[in-house]
Structure 1
Amino acid sequence: MTGTFVRVALDHPLPTLFDYHWNAPEPAGPGMLVSVPFGKRDVVGLVCEVAAHSEVPADRLRAVNAVCTACPPLSSEWLALAAFAADYYQRGLGEVALPALPQALRDAARWPRLLAPEERYSLTPQGRAALPDALPARATALRNLAEALAAADFLLAADARALHPKAIATLAAWQAEGWVALDLVDAAAALPATTSGAAEPQTLPTLTGEQSAAVEAIRDARGFAPFLLHGVTGSGKTEVYLRALAAILAADATAQALVLVPEINLTPQFEAAFRARFAALADTAIVTLHSGLAEGERARNWFAAHACRARIVLGTRLAVLASLPRLAVIVVDEEHDPAYKQQEGLRYSARDLAIYRAKQLGLPVVLGSATPSLESWWQAEQGRYRRLTLSRRAVADAVLPTVRLIDLEDERRRGRASMEGLSGPLIAALKTRLERGEQSLVFLNRRGYAPQLACDACGWVAGCPRCSAYVVLHKPERALRCHHCGWESRIPRSCPDCGNVDIAPLGRGTQRVEETLASAVPGARVLRIDADSTRRKGSAEALFSDVHAGEVDILVGTQMIAKGHDFQRVSLVGVLNADTALFSHDFRASERLFAQLMQVSGRAGRAGLPGEVLVQTRYPRHALYHALGRHDYVGFANSTLAERRDAHLPPFVYQALLRAEGRTLEAALAFLQQAAAELAGIPAAERVTVYDAVPLTIVKVMHVHRAQLLIESASRAALQATLRAWQPLLRGLKGVLRWSLEVDPLDI
């Protein structure tokens, strides 16, 4: 059949493109978003190819319904990036491309409103003076709406609705009182809110020699240039990013930059630093992209990047797939962080895609970390990445903290008192910092009050009825909660098995440590920051602001507080319960533990105050702790790489993981055994090692049983060829609820 036809990628597991007849008035082109019929419904797809004929019979060929004219076509470079990700991670092109777009573009019903004028509400001077006193004290939602108006230059209608269900009617009433002004702004021309007006010239910090050399190397790079910026904590890596980006953006008035951070709670301080530094550039817009944004805000920011109005895009891992037609440089901060690996759906590594994108476009990419991943370190050792080193802290009188190990076994033998897991030396050090007016940080990577609730009479331990896991005690909420499926129940008054009323918590979480510190260090202002205390939007930013403002004496938290934060008054870091990672079945556990401890240790002594790190351990002679005490990442990395080489582990081999989920464990294991048998007929599999199918550590989640099959090869090409030939065979197997294939797994 001849005519004009398009091959469209859909968000569908089948790795194929679907042919449609093109009858729209606009000329067809790759990168266009279209609405097409698929089965009994209409879906949004992405045009990938345009053809003059189709092999699909005329009676089966359907036509494109509509074209999204509001969105300029995605570039050929972006389509090539999505195609690479789909091929490498063994997914359909549509499964990569469509989820990378804002929800507004994936819903054809919303296309006519994409360029509709935006309603923007702002406080008038009268409203700024009168509104706070006019609201009832208990009207929390109204106060949230008023506070959002006061904190921003304007508030969009969609964002207002997210704060209050009757926001538009309320704003109309406030407008009638003269407290609120309403403006209609052309959405196509509107920029996201940025610092406007002439900015005061900033007094830039004086760079160290190592910082200057790093900035010059990045600034002068031509073509694809991967840099590994290895800087100790507090060495001024962010300043290197700022200076290098400033030089690159100044050299090209249309250039764009992409800056990736591992977690949402790091974006506010990065955004503040970038806005302050680039406020003087009238043509600079800075936008953020992460899952914590309201849907409308994320769409506006994405459009600003796609239309080249945004010069700097700051975001988490999903931002690596943002459309940036004039991209000139990529920065990946804390490149070692496991958060860059997506663990659901398309299991991609944002760091690895950032490197590929830089190679594809021929531009510099900077991977920054105090504790680089061993994969990146090995690439630098082989000369594939250029290593830039910042060996000392940027502040003149700031030095790396002293690390001291507290031997818990020795403390017990000597009969020295401890309090709920806090040793005597740690409590004494916390009291000393309080007397000096300095801040302390206590790190425990386990949230909740206690990881278990148990009965010592019969041995009962509270477990989740839906998962093969214990539930966590959350004392403030008086609840038992499963951190795997979210199941929750009230705390029982007695043991459900034997009736014993003396059931007690086992172990410690951040809530219990917070409670203990309140009594162990009288008078201290204790603040806890973890996933439980930062559930509400903006709560993490508010809590960190309290710490920076000096309103907190002791900060307790999980890995959320361990990296990236510049706490100027923290002089002591206490580490609890680190030993559990020393004997994990995961070969990456020691690497992650060392990175965590190095990162959290780096929060101490950043502004010239003498810093000290106290690590409570029962294994003070362990080599990892000795390397930590010397701040010797290089020695730790080289010795661990030698172990990996001898054991034939990444980065010296390449791995893939097939996971299966079934109604029973036997069904999941049987599927994996059939899958392993199918490899015998694949020629490339001769160079692949296949391990036995085994249950996952947490076997059952939400009544679904899970198992996994690991395959690996010393040849990436052989592994990829095997996976491509294996996929069609796997689709023909039955017996499980679902299965998934992950390339370069981090959690095994």
Structure 2
Amino acid sequence: MTCQLSVVVPTPAHSTLGGPLSYRSEFPLAPGTLVRVPLGRRELLGVVWDPEAQFDNAAPEYELKPIAGVLDGIAPLTARWRELVSFAASYYQRGLGEVALMALPPQLRGLSAEQVARRMKRTAGPAPATAGQIAAAPTPEQAAALDAFEAGTGCFLLFGATGSGKTEVYLQAVQRLFEREPQAQALVMVPEINLTPQLEERFVARFGAADVVSLHSGMTHPQRLKSWLAAHSGAARVVLGTRMAVFASMPGLKLIVVDEEHDPSYKQQEGARYSARDLAVYRGRLEGAKVLLGSATPSLESWQACEKGRYTRLVMPSRIGQAQLPKVRLVDMNLQPHKTVFSPQLLDAVSQRIARGEQSLVFLNRRGYAPVLACTACDWKSECPNCSAFRVFHKIDRTLRCHHCGFTERVPRACPLCGNVDIAPVGRGTERLEESLAQLLAGTRRPGGEPVRIARMDADTTRLKGSLEVQLAQVHAGEVDVLVGTQMITKGHDFRRITLVAALNADSALFSADFRAPERLFGLLMQAAGRAGRDAIQSGSSEMWVQTFHPTHPLFAALRQHDYPAFAAQQLKEREQAGMPPFGFQALVRADARTQEGAQAFLAAAAAAAAGIEAADRVMLYSPVPMSVQRVANVERAQMLVESASRAALQRFLAAWHPVLQATREKGMIRWAVDVDPLAI
């Protein structure tokens, strides 16, 4: 007997083959089974899909290709997992096979049945119970939050001050789940890879190494495969991961935790542009699992969902023990001499911390030595030849490096245009900031008389494997007096010795054209402030310093009071008046072409052809415009905003518009993509 199967494979994003393909099998296979199938000259990994997803169950007029093999040792992916993938592909306007295969570990695609069987043996059966660290008694606020979480259903937002012990709430929520259901699984998500090691350490200490696995893009292919198999088989009870972990196959999933749920890193920016936080909420409904979103500065979407009663808000306003939130001090840079980098007041405060043996954190969200190198005699600047952006000067290796396309050159000895040897850095990055601080603090001594120790932590210094862990260990051990870095050091880290946090150049987002910029800035500053004073003994003297040219801005007034609810209320009022998310819904269509004219012409033609399609009368299409960085790697980029007051109407429009976009593509176009619920416009 010959069976016809529907199989999803990773077809190209812009091909017309977005759904399952039909193949022949000598025996029936359950939906969710992993198979190998031929496609063109290649053999690909595919997933058997539900029969109703077939194009035609009748006998085809052409000869179907047979499947090439079955990965027998791996249990089929569940119906709920397939439903999650189907929803993500539909909502974010991507191919079904693209999303399904993106969610599977890459190494799975090249394994034989025998290799699969060997790897499954290593993860077979549930992990034995291991004696873990005994949990400390929860604080009254933690206990109240846990009790409310246990008693309720659906999605919860844990609104807790930095240092209030949200991680302990996550740990105890997982522990209570396992006590009720020993075979249950929990998914715990963090926004960035650098937060995974410290969280993994705490979960392993509580539940044992056999029960906890990680899933993130920083792992090797064999590591990811091992973790995925452990989760898929149920051997791993806790999966820790970044946004990609939302698609982890976990047949016993009963609890999903999304830490720092406001973080933009949960939104994928390439390929399938999905929001892992939003998919986590959807998956919770599918699986009948509780979802716990945690943040000291929640996204306005989640805050509004609580206001409307769709989520349950749990509040923990106090820090653990007697620890206090830091005092916020604003330095009016209008009163400082021109080109002042560190105000004398801030420098004195940092020096006092060093003399007392305390640590300070200084963050500037710009890596490199200087954002641009310029000639003092002519108009030459270190522009990238491939992008409409400047190459950043990195002094440590004397290079000019484009942070968009990666193009790197040695710093020229003289100006390429006029030959002037006096070319100088303009602006300041973390590398130059580190150098400036070393000079300014050269005469400062630690309590034992030793010179000050300054460290820098950004994408450049943590590039090598293991370097992040080494640097974090040095900070925790007190081997660093002043830590300089980008926003990666302001998120989630439990630095016990830091009593002063300073934010430089915080004004850049205040008057941005992006309506989300104030929300991101306030969240970043609040999170940064949360790194100070986490030790109760030192918290009374902890401070957050902000150097600004706009000290009377309402954002800073809310920051001084640590008053997120007031800030959220003001922002939501403005957005409601403007019809912006979460009161309206958006999508961006991005186009890449050989020329800017070609990219915009494609978008204009697609907009003109959209007039007669479903729900077009309920959707607003704006004119095409260049992207903020309009050329990257010699590819011109343009975008067009699509808005609607109805999410359902926007989705119907986008689904009907997709074939139009396919048909509109012309010569010179490289690619196009739809970004639903964009975070940056």
Q: TM-score range by the shorter chain?
A: over 0.9
- Which 10-residue stretch deviates more, 438-447 or 520-529? 520-529
Q: Note the alpha carbon deviations across 1:270-309, whole angstroms, 9 max, x for none.
A: 0111111223xx9x60000000111101100000000000
Work out which of the residue numbers 67, 72, 90 in structure 1 matches 2:70: 67
Work out which of the residue numbers 124, 128, 133 in structure 2 matches 1:189: 124
Work out which of the residue numbers 67, 75, 80 in structure 1 matches 2:83: 80
Verify the 8 A CA contact 1:511 1:528 in the aligned structure 2: yes
Q: How does 1:282-681 map to 2 (within 5 A)?
A: 285-394=211-320, 396-412=321-337, 421-522=341-442, 523-608=451-536, 609=538, 610-681=541-612
- The structure, 1 or 2, with the larger RCO (C-alpha pairs under 8 Å, 6+ apart) is 2
Q: Does structure 1 residue 712 correspond to structure 2 residue 643?
A: yes
Output the amino acid matched with 2:585. Answer: Y
Superposed displacement of residue 80, structure 1:
0.7
Superposed displacement of residue 117, structure 1:
6.6
Aligned partners of 2:126, 2:107: CA distance in 1, in Å? 17
Aligned partners of 2:63, 2:554: CA distance in 1, in Å? 67
Aligned partners of 1:611, 1:56: CA distance in 2, in Å? 74
Seen in structure 2, the aligned counterparts of structure 1 residues 712 and 220 have a Cα distance that, compared at 3 Å, is: same
Verify the 8 A CA contact 2:457 2:485 in the aligned structure 1: yes
The corresponding residue for 1:116 is 118
Q: How does 1:33-48 map to 2 (within 5 A)?
A: 33-48=34-49
Q: Note the alpha carbon deviations across 1:125-171, whole angstroms, 9 max, x for none.
A: xxxxxxxxxxxxxxxxxxxxxxxxxxxxxxxxxxxxxxxxxxxxxxx
Verify the 8 A CA contact 1:28 1:50 in the aligned structure 2: no
Q: How does 1:203-218 map to 2 (within 5 A)?
A: 204-218=135-149
The corresponding residue for 1:231 is 160
Aligned partners of 2:302, 2:295: CA distance in 1, in Å? 10
- SS for the counterpart of 1:63 is coil
Verify the 8 A CA contact 2:71 2:112 in the aligned structure 1: no
Verify the 8 A CA contact 1:70 1:111 in the aligned structure 2: yes
The corresponding residue for 1:732 is 663
Listed as ranges, the gaps of 5+ residues in structure 1 are: 119-185
The corresponding residue for 2:448 is none
Superposed displacement of residue 187, structure 1:
2.6
Q: Note the alpha carbon deviations across 1:98-131, whole angstroms, 9 max, x for none.
A: 1100112222x5443123379xxxxxxxxxxxxx
Q: Note the alpha carbon deviations across 1:38-97, whole angstroms, 9 max, x for none.
A: 122221111003489744635331111111112111011111111111111111111111
Superposed displacement of residue 188, structure 1:
4.4
Seen in structure 2, the aligned counterparts of structure 1 residues 575 and 87 have a Cα distance that, compared at 3 Å, is: same
Seen in structure 2, the aligned counterparts of structure 1 residues 188 and 438 have a Cα distance that, compared at 3 Å, is: closer
Verify the 8 A CA contact 1:98 1:106 in the aligned structure 2: no
Aligned partners of 1:432, 1:491: CA distance in 2, in Å? 38
Say what the alpha-carbon RMSD is for the aligned residues. 1.8
Output the amino acid matched with 1:269. Answer: Q
Output the amino acid matched with 2:674. Answer: L
Q: Note the alpha carbon deviations across 1:285-339, whole angstroms, 9 max, x for none.
A: 0000000111101100000000000000000000000000000100000000000
The corresponding residue for 2:33 is 32
Aligned residues: 662
Aligned partners of 1:393, 1:294: CA distance in 2, in Å? 38
Aligned partners of 1:447, 1:59: CA distance in 2, in Å? 58
Output the amino acid matched with 2:660. Answer: L
Verify the 8 A CA contact 2:2 2:26 in the aligned structure 1: no
The corresponding residue for 2:205 is 276
Superposed displacement of residue 426, structure 1:
1.2
The corresponding residue for 1:161 is none
Aligned partners of 2:678, 2:289: CA distance in 1, in Å? 27
The corresponding residue for 1:746 is 679
Aligned partners of 2:596, 2:574: CA distance in 1, in Å? 33
Aligned partners of 1:40, 1:585: CA distance in 2, in Å? 48
Aligned partners of 1:582, 1:401: CA distance in 2, in Å? 22
- SS for the counterpart of 1:659 is strand
Superposed displacement of residue 376, structure 1:
0.4
Aligned partners of 2:525, 2:412: CA distance in 1, in Å? 36
Aligned partners of 2:51, 2:309: CA distance in 1, in Å? 42
Verify the 8 A CA contact 2:119 2:226 in the aligned structure 1: no
The corresponding residue for 2:186 is 257
The corresponding residue for 2:108 is 105
Superposed displacement of residue 362, structure 1:
1.8
- SS for the counterpart of 1:106 is helix
- Which 10-residue stretch deviates more, 225-234 or 14-23? 14-23
Output the amino acid matched with 2:652. Answer: A
Listed as ranges, the gaps of 5+ residues in structure 2 are: 443-450
Superposed displacement of residue 441, structure 1:
0.2
Verify the 8 A CA contact 1:115 1:187 in the aligned structure 2: no
Superposed displacement of residue 3, structure 1:
4.3
Aligned partners of 1:112, 1:407: CA distance in 2, in Å? 68
Superposed displacement of residue 495, structure 1:
1.1
Output the amino acid matched with 2:361. Answer: L
Superposed displacement of residue 197, structure 1:
6.0
Aligned partners of 1:634, 1:117: CA distance in 2, in Å? 50
Output the amino acid matched with 1:606. Answer: R
- SS for the counterpart of 1:499 is coil
- Which 10-residue stretch deviates more, 64-73 or 718-727? 64-73
- SS for the counterpart of 2:5 is strand
Output the amino acid matched with 2:3. Answer: T
Seen in structure 2, the aligned counterparts of structure 1 residues 427 and 191 have a Cα distance that, compared at 3 Å, is: farther
Aligned partners of 2:75, 2:61: CA distance in 1, in Å? 30
Output the amino acid matched with 2:470. Answer: A
Q: Taking structure 2 as the reference length, what is the TM-score of the superposition?
A: 0.95
Verify the 8 A CA contact 1:261 1:316 in the aligned structure 2: yes
Superposed displacement of residue 471, structure 1:
0.5
Output the amino acid matched with 2:461. Answer: S
Seen in structure 2, the aligned counterparts of structure 1 residues 110 and 4 have a Cα distance that, compared at 3 Å, is: closer
Q: Does structure 1 residue 11 correspond to structure 2 residue 13?
A: no
Output the amino acid matched with 2:670. Answer: L
The corresponding residue for 1:698 is 629
